[in-house]
Copies of this chain bind each other. A is one copy, B any other.
């Protein structure tokens, strides 16, 4: 006989309905185990205690890496990890329709996982002090586990990865959120990682490189430059948050508008259905052809003993580094890294519409995108590229962001992109509240979405890009 909810262990709760308030509680509770200051001290100690060194080396000093004699691709002798190959791109409509470039190919799906556990009824995240050779300050706060498939299937021949067992089936804990998310699609071809948050109720041994922090603490650290690494930011971005409280109706402030923006019941410019349809429309609008070619066939890029670089010195270069460290899976190693030529700039323009904060997002095609276009921040570019170019060739809103008065900037920090693949990839992330007279009319390819809606798109795994997810995580520090 039919009885609703009669079986133990059956879930019929609306998705996220139980999880979101628990993440919010963690984001509004100071840490009970160590203070944020202690956390910063601990990161500094981790940096000091271990004698890390990273230096650039010529390609012929890379151990296990070589340029394949047939393809010219830069590969590891195991055939694993990643390769540097060439990519021929055709995109239309576009100002530049055809180009080729070096690209990192890493088809393996790795794990970026945060283990969470309740202490005094509040979720705490097990965060790691992790060294990555491409980060200028080397040690940043990272997820519990940050592992490529080659790492965790043992190709690395290093130490076992701590806490990995919580993220691989069969597991003891409860999966709270879990989705595949893309990474830099200008530099990677079709790269995704599994972003996952698992809750445990077991006793967990705390290793020296790890600390339990509430989301409140992590968000405090997110306001600082280069403390929370990209891998942590992307996992944070998939967490849904419920509004911490209902703002007073007459409260027209930024924070009240942001809190309303977390609420599924707030009025919105578009429904999620409309947003999905808009994204679909943009995917159907572009034609993107991605053809892998030999690295030595890429035009306009030249290789010498130390780097592969564009003839104009722009975009990025590929270099080799030698790393000496004691707490990574192996004690020392060499590897290639991608070094951007210039710093990046990423911004959300946000606006109160009917008292609810809306983010102006764009549908942006990209060389290495798995699915043609991704949902991107209002502005995402390397400003240096556009110096001296006429205004019509500059990205939409670049001039506005550069000239914005300081009193409109709600968030600004330098953050590093993945230090395991990129060398000193620094991006200035900003949230800018536009003036009230900023037009509500959306330019072609742009849409106003609430924070709740953008989070929903992230949760569907439909391709909110890593820059937008990073900035979404940062935006959550503002309520």
Check if A200 is an interface residue, CB within 8 A of chain B.
no
Check if A13 is an interface residue, CB within 8 A of chain B.
yes
Check if A53 is an interface residue, CB within 8 A of chain B.
no
CA distance A3 to B284 in the complex (A): 36
* The residue from B6, B107, B270 contacting A354, defined by CB atoms under 8 A apart: B6
Task: Let me know if B284 and A10 touch, CB within 8 A.
Answer: no
Check if A360 is an interface residue, CB within 8 A of chain B.
no
Task: Let me know if A250 and B1 touch, CB within 8 A.
Answer: yes
By beta carbon, the residue of chain B nearest A177 is B273
Check if A384 is an interface residue, CB within 8 A of chain B.
no
Chain A positions within 8 Å of B, measured between CB atoms, are 1-7, 10-16, 107-109, 111, 149, 169, 175-180, 194, 196, 247, 249-252, 256-257, 260, 264-274, 276-277, 280-281, 283-284, 287-289, 291-292, 354-356, 370-371, 460-462
Task: Let me know if A284 and B461 touch, CB within 8 A.
Answer: no
Assuming the contacts A178-B277, A179-B280, A273-B16, asked whether A355 and B3 have C-beta atoms less than 8 A apart, the reply is: yes
* The residue from B11, B257, B272 contacting A274, defined by CB atoms under 8 A apart: B11
Which B residues lie within 8 Å of A284 (CB)?
A: 109, 111, 149, 180, 194
Told that A12-B265, A370-B370 touch, could you supply 17 new A-B pairs with CB distance under 8 A? A1-B355, A2-B250, A2-B252, A2-B256, A3-B355, A4-B267, A10-B269, A11-B268, A13-B271, A14-B264, A109-B284, A149-B287, A175-B277, A178-B280, A180-B284, A196-B280, A460-B462
The interface centre, meaning the residue of A2, A111, A265 with most chain B CB atoms within 10 A of its CB, is A2
Assuming the contacts A175-B274, A289-B107, asked whether A2 and B180 have C-beta atoms less than 8 A apart, the reply is: no
